[in-house]
Structure 1
Amino acid sequence: MTPPSAAPDIRLLIADDHRLFREGLKALISVTGGLHVIAEAENGQEALDLAILHDVQVVIMDIQMPILSGLEATKRLLALKPGLGILVVSMFDDDDNVFAAMQAGARGYLLKGAAPEELLRGIEAVAQGEALFAPSIARRLMNYFSRPTRLPPTLLPELTEREREILSHIAQGETNPRIARRLELSEKTVRNHITSIFSKLQVSSRAEATQRAKEAGL
């Protein structure tokens, strides 16, 4: 299938510490009219420096990169170039990273493995000042903001809101698969959150975490 033509003359920078991903993205873009990869960066500091040096219009930004994270690079770039379009393309689909990217100023958030047409549409969207999110992320954002109540941030403030939510489900005796289904997360993401919860609360079991939750009033 031939990729659709993009808006004319969009200057791009690809920031990702995985060379194979950059090469694959460049190959896709090379057959798309109007898109030009001007520079590549393998860490956040390079992304910051090269985006300014080459005056690009769109940065395709990974989140986890060495030296400077993609989120921090996004914040700094937009402080210097407010009109720059940042499209985050990441393997992480959890709320914390999605909301952090939005707060940093990213206009779009897609998952690695997205269809070529979706990636090209995302590039065009952010170049034109629009927002575009992966369908699964857009659904979760809608569900999140439609929830009638949220756990007060004063309860266990060392935890993120998502971690407090998962802890409340743990305290109700729910299993990881059930929590994943209820919150529309992968089981791996739930496990990662639980590991973080245990570390922050300095507990080693679900029973201890449950006790901490009850003491905090969750």
Structure 2
Amino acid sequence: METIHILIADDMEAHRRRLERIIASEKDLVLTASAKSGYEAVALAAVKKPNIVLLDIEMESQMAGIKAAAEIHKILPDTKIIMLTIHQDNNVVFAAFQTGIVDYLIKSAPKEEILEAIYSAANNQSPIRPIIAEKIREEFARIKKSEDHLTGFFKVIATLTPSELEVLKLLCKGLKRKEIAEERSVEMETVKKQISSLLKKFDRRNTKEIVEVVNELKLFDMIRDIS
């Protein structure tokens, strides 16, 4: 088996020493560097180019490890990053995976589990752990809901008259009813009727809700460019 070069990053010396001992116990594992902060981890990774990085989440700041992981992934996309954490916080762990890490471990994990994670990462066989699988399912559900919402909005937009579409564009720009009337050179009553029609078609209680959804679904640019 080829030698696996590992970088450790943890602000607690006791944790670093333990990981160093674990690495030293295996003939095909080599410690290339040991960092005390996220900043050091990025700098040392750029110079040493390790195969594996064991990276603590919380160092000089609460999210230092996550920021470091994102930077290391940009510089060394082939380097496998395993995140180390004290608390198994679902949202934090999922945020870490979004930076490109391949696995995560509780710091107190047994030696055997740490070694298994290292070898699995080196062989591109890191498992999808239960927390991450659940988060992925939740994310897909959110995306599906967003897509359904987007489809519904497109259907409504297709039913808008040119005048209603123009009013919607102006609402998205932040104009008030009086300003819209002046901009379009129409009576205030006409604008009120068009807004009332928009509320009915979009099934919303007020224009603020419509604008919020348009912005949330990133439709603003599309609406702005429609003639």
Paired amino acid for 1:21: H
**Partner residue, 1:140:** 131
8 Å Cα contact 1:13-1:56 kept in structure 2: yes
1:116–1:96 distance in 2 versus 1, CA, 3 Å: same
8 Å Cα contact 1:8-1:33 kept in structure 2: no
Question: Separation in 2 of the partners of 1:98 and 1:55?
Answer: 24
Gap runs ≥5 in structure 1: 1-6, 154-218
Paired amino acid for 1:141: I
Gap runs ≥5 in structure 2: 147-227
Question: Separation in 2 of the partners of 1:90 and 1:104?
Answer: 15
The yes-or-no answer on 1:41 pairing with 2:35 is: yes
Matches within 5 A, 1:1-218: 7-66=1-60, 69-132=64-127, 138-146=129-137
1:53–1:97 distance in 2 versus 1, CA, 3 Å: same
Paired amino acid for 1:23: R
Q: Match of 1:38, SS?
A: strand
Q: Match of 2:5, SS?
A: strand
1:145–1:70 distance in 2 versus 1, CA, 3 Å: closer
- What is the CA RMSD across the aligned residues, in angstroms? 2.3
Give 1:127 deviation, angstroms: 1.7
Question: Separation in 2 of the partners of 1:144 and 1:47?
Answer: 27
1:143–1:29 distance in 2 versus 1, CA, 3 Å: same
Which is higher, the Rg of structure 1 or of structure 2? Answer: 2
TM-score by length of 2: 0.57
1:149–1:62 distance in 2 versus 1, CA, 3 Å: same
8 Å Cα contact 1:109-1:132 kept in structure 2: no
1:145–1:72 distance in 2 versus 1, CA, 3 Å: closer
Question: Separation in 2 of the partners of 1:13 and 1:55?
Answer: 9
Structure having greater relative contact order (Cα 8 Å, sep ≥ 6)? 1
TM-score by length of 1: 0.60
8 Å Cα contact 1:15-1:60 kept in structure 2: yes
8 Å Cα contact 2:55-2:84 kept in structure 1: yes
Q: Match of 1:113, SS?
A: coil
Question: Separation in 2 of the partners of 1:142 and 1:85?
Answer: 19
Q: Match of 1:132, SS?
A: coil
Give 1:124 deviation, angstroms: 1.1
1:142–1:26 distance in 2 versus 1, CA, 3 Å: same
Aligned pairs, how many?
Answer: 143
